[in-house]
Structure 1
């Protein structure tokens, strides 16, 4: 099983505050089940996660639709992580994120801070950014709202499908 995750955060390093988590299961046959949750940033700070001023400043320059989405009430980070673990349901999933040092490692750090077991095997981390760099001839067509975690995860999964399984 392949899973594309996308995070919206207030930082770009492990330990950053997470404000939204989107994910979609996918394979050569198409997109499957989807997961989305907003996360209360105060619950992240209470666990010792941090905000980066330059990332918060970056958010101020994003679309109103994206900013309004992350301002909506969210679940506690503990509850969000437990719900994601339940949704994932298989620790053998191949976990794709946009960057070897971003989505997967920030999410894994959140699990560690919360004291919740990581719901995938670390050796199943996959880097979508690396694969898309190898195939610049395959265009990424964004769908939905830019910087909405679920919309971005779905766009990235469709793009990766076109790269990995072009004739299917």
Structure 2
């Protein structure tokens, strides 16, 4: 659990959002096929709620590349659920609608403060989403300084504990599916944070007078 005092001191929301997207290219203007997000309650180090959108691939102004399309053709055999979310799901919504819904989801996590937005590597997911928000004139719902990386948590666990938190949790049964990837990354983050907390125990200033809001419930 994260000491509430620390969250208050640095004006950080008690909720962190883990994001994963699936795309048809690897550049900032990549076409986005699916968005998954998981909200973590930092007070209890548990999953609060999640978000998922399969996105219509007709996206003027956004790009595809042949290497990424070749990757997706391989997934039809290697990860059928991932391929289906990109090319077989009929319940798809326009990118602008998906971004507005994701914006609302993250705004719930902000709670008037700064929600941290973590991806496996923010230079991919966060950058592409930021570009898409800008394309549609939607203000990115997190601060530039709130871009966070799961890889950094993994590195700290390796350096301080000699372990990779990904190796100590159940494997992702549906790789390259945005929601399952986000859920797996959220689980790795929670496990990694618990490991790191054992390295240097926080002072006993945990949830007393400064309790995190909605500790036991998900945001409205």
TM-score by length of 1: 0.91
Q: Which residue of 2 aligns with 1:59?
A: 72
SS of 1:41's partner is coil
Whether 2:112 is the aligned partner of 1:83: answer no
Whether 2:183 is the aligned partner of 1:165: answer no
Larger Rg: 2
- The gaps in structure 2 that reach 5 residues or longer are 1-14, 199-220
In 2: Cα distance, 1:36 partner to 1:56 partner: 22
RMSD: 1.7
Moved more, 147-156 or 158-167: 158-167
- The gaps in structure 1 that reach 5 residues or longer are none
Q: Which residue of 1 aligns with 2:56?
A: 40
Tell me if structure 1 keeps the 8 A contact 2:154–2:192. yes
1:138 aligned to which of 159, 164, 168? 164
Whether 2:21 is the aligned partner of 1:7: answer yes
Structure 1 segments, 4+ long, off by >4 Å, are none
Q: How many residues were matched structurally?
A: 165
SS of 1:108's partner is helix
Tell me if structure 2 keeps the 8 A contact 1:22–1:37. yes
Q: Which residue of 1 aligns with 2:151?
A: 129
Tell me if structure 2 keeps the 8 A contact 1:17–1:49. yes
In 1: Cα distance, 2:67 partner to 2:100 partner: 29
Moved more, 93-102 or 132-141: 132-141
